[in-house]
Structure 1
Amino acid sequence: MTAPHDPDAGQGSPGRRRPSPGRRGRTRVLLAVLVLVVLAVGVDVALLAGRVGEVAVDLSPDDSDGRTWVLVGLDSRDHLPAGADPAVFGTPEAVPGTRADVVLVVHQTDAGTTVLSVPRDLLVLRDQRRTRLTLTWRDGPRATVDALCSIGIDADHLVAVDFAGFAQVVDAAGGLTVDVPVPVRDPGAGLDLPRAGVQHVDGRTALALVRSRHPQHLVDGTWTPVPMDPDGRASAAGTVLGALVDAVRGSVVRPLRLQTVGWATTGALSVDPGTSVTDLAALAGADLSTVEVVPSDLRDGAVPVALPTAGTRAAIEAAGLSCR
């Protein structure tokens, strides 16, 4: 089956060691970490809550069988990091619309919390036709919510994070310290780290690490393309996430910086109209340390496609999820 073309498809690993399952799990809690930052500023939560945007979708939450959160990381050329070169990211005309780059599902019950990562390239139903999950957001948040329902995932609450805003959060935290195993660059993503080792990066570079799809390694003095790695994005986000967590923890003892991080984070978050600060607090209290990737049959190519399998449905049902 051929999926619709997406200019934002395929990537390799930009110079990072292949992640362990635990590290890949940590990758997918990036969105939740940003939510937690909002709540970490204590008495200023009420003020900062006024900066949180709204996702135009009305949900009918039903907490009788638990509370289900859908956290979506967005990729749009309409909102680039400050000072970013549109030639690197692509213009809104060349890459129109917004895609769902990361989809994390958190299901909370009295028995505990289950966290699932849904592959962005998973084929789902949209108007009785199959399409990749990442493309559904181009038709709006309701399309993504309905597409998730087609595979058995209902949404009580929806949180969206603009990853251009993520770069602002990194800068607010004073940048990140990352360990790059080998020199790496990706002109298409604006990534240029010509030396290996521990180094401090700003928000745009951190975002470039996550966005990189066609990295090159410096081998014997020559920049050499790296074969595509389906887990490349996960590995990159894991590296950046670990550094972000360290930076935020360091901000806890620096009230002014923590306030700045909270201010930047609230500007990057949007929630459905029915989600309150109290609801976000409930999410913040959840144990998000273990994340399960929903199984699928990944078919590599110019446009990667993840085919649903019996394991896909089984993992969703085992998490206690269903869509009425």
Structure 2
Amino acid sequence: MALLALPVGLFLFGWWQFSRIPRVDVAAALSSSSGAGGTNYLIVGTDSREGISPDDPNAGAFLAEDVAGARTDTIMVLRMESGGARLLSIPRDLWVQNPATGEMGRVNSTFAEGPANLVTAVRNLGIPVEHYLEINFVSFGRLVDAVGGITIDVPAPARDANSGLQIDTAGPVTLDGTQALAYVRSRYYEELVDGTWRPDPTGDIGRTERQREFLSAMMSAIGGERNPLSLARIPGSLGAGMKIDDALGYLDALRLAWDFRGASPDAVALPVTPRTTSGGAAVLELQEPGAAEIIASFGQ
């Protein structure tokens, strides 16, 4: 009898957890879901410090900086389709037109006018966006800790004094929430090569690649989790730091979770090229024809 009741109990517990997730008013900006081909989820990581306590075990990864409000630190598109999952990174320095102002600027700056404006900016690239998920630093660290850490493979010892990153050995290393935050946020990434610390020459491009690879590994860990009680605890670990669009229903979320079981998202790079604007800003532009082909594959 208890076994028969367990799925119902988990369903209701999951619904309760889902109902507590804050909503973002972006439904009017989302693409219509055709149900064919695949579904795109825009995943945005913000550097909001809201709700962070100095006693939080992950506090050291982000309280050192004095930042007000929230900015987009990570922008990715997760595509779920019959053949599996793909994860596309959109560099924060990508040069785009701001839908709200009509002016050119970095894509992460479009978030200043609200999430719906960022959704529109991504759609204007030619990438449909059916759903929106936002997560801040606190929840990101807690999520990593909730799944027991994430293992990545680094080619050399690495550090970043600004983000707090310190990896002492090359090869597979399991990062907890604090070091995971330091890793994905690293803008001054250095590697120890032949006894010398060398900065990553690729800048934001390299940072984007590290973020994409890490999030792909984290999604694989979540997708590979088989313990229903562990899965049920994951939403609670996110707290109020996760937000979803106002069009995503509980059954939609369950369908996503089911499709994601055992999935290992393929990391997809958006071809870009660096340039300096007339005003002296270092930005990235789409590199053609490769960028158009990648974008088209996310719209089919």
Q: Deviations over 1:74-125 (max 9, x none)?
A: 22242458242487651124xx5311512215376x8998764433322221
Q: Work out which of the residue numbers 226, 229, 233 in structure 2 matches 1:252.
A: 226
State the identity %: 27
Give the 3-state SS of the residue equivalent to 1:134 in structure 2: helix
1:124 counterpart SS class? strand
Distance 1:118 1:216, change over 3 A: closer
Are residues 1:71 and 2:34 paired? Answer: no
- Match 1:273 to one of 239, 246, 260: 246
Q: Kindly indicate whether residue 177 of structure 2 is the aligned counterpart of residue 206 of structure 1.
A: no
Question: What one-letter code is carried by the residue in structure 2 that aligns with 1:308?
Answer: L
Measured in 2, the distance between the counterparts of 1:307 and 1:74 equals: 21
CA distance in 1, matches of 2:89, 2:231: 28
Q: Does 1:215 align with 2:217?
A: no
2:17 alignment partner in structure 1: 48
**SS, match of residue 214 in structure 1:** coil
The higher-RCO structure (CA 8 Å, 6+ apart) is: 1
Q: Residue 35 of structure 1 corresponds to which residue in structure 2?
A: none
TM-score, normalised via structure 2 length: 0.73
- Decide which moves more: 278-287 or 137-146: 278-287
Q: CA deviation at 1:303?
A: 5.7
Shift of the 55–240 alpha-carbon distance from structure 1 to 2, 3 Å rule, reads same
More moved, 172-181 vs 184-193: 172-181
Aligned residue for 1:10? none
**Cα deviation code 1:214-250 (max 9, x no counterpart):** 123345666x232322543244335544653565467
Q: What do the CA deviations read for 1:16-63 (whole angstroms, capped 9, x no partner)? A: xxxxxxxxxxxxxxxxxxxxxxxxx75632122123221132326523
Q: How big is each residue's C-alpha offset from its partner over 1:144-197, in whole Å with a ceiling of 9 and x where there is no partner?
A: 122123323343322222243111011122333444443222110011223445
Amino acid across the alignment from 1:263 = G
* 2:211 paired with 1:233: no
Q: 1:197 to 1:269 in 2, by over 3 A?
A: same
1:297 to 269, 273, 278: 273
* Partner SS for 1:52: coil
Mapped contact 1:168–1:264 kept (Cα < 8 A): yes
TM-score computed with the length of structure 1 as normaliser: 0.68
C-alpha contact (below 8 Å) 1:88/1:187 kept by paired residues: no
* Matched residues, number: 276
Q: Tell me how large the CA RMSD over aligned residues is.
A: 3.7
> Which of these residues, 97, 110, 128, is aligned with residue 102 of structure 2?
128
What is the match of residue 65 of structure 2?
Answer: 90
> Retained in 1: the 8 A contact 2:88–2:269?
yes
For residues 1-324 of structure 1, the aligned pairs below 5 Å read 44-59=13-28, 61-64=31-34, 66=36, 68-79=39-50, 82-83=56-57, 84-85=59-60, 89-93=64-68, 97-104=70-77, 106=79, 116-126=88-98, 127-218=101-192, 224-230=197-203, 231-237=205-211, 240-241=214-215, 244=218, 247-248=221-222, 251-253=225-227, 256-265=229-238, 267-284=240-257, 285=259, 289-290=265-266, 292-299=268-275, 304-311=282-289, 312-317=291-296, 319-320=298-299
Structure 1 spans left out of the alignment, 5+ residues: 1-40
Q: For structure 2, which runs of at least 5 residues remain unmatched after alignment?
A: 1-9
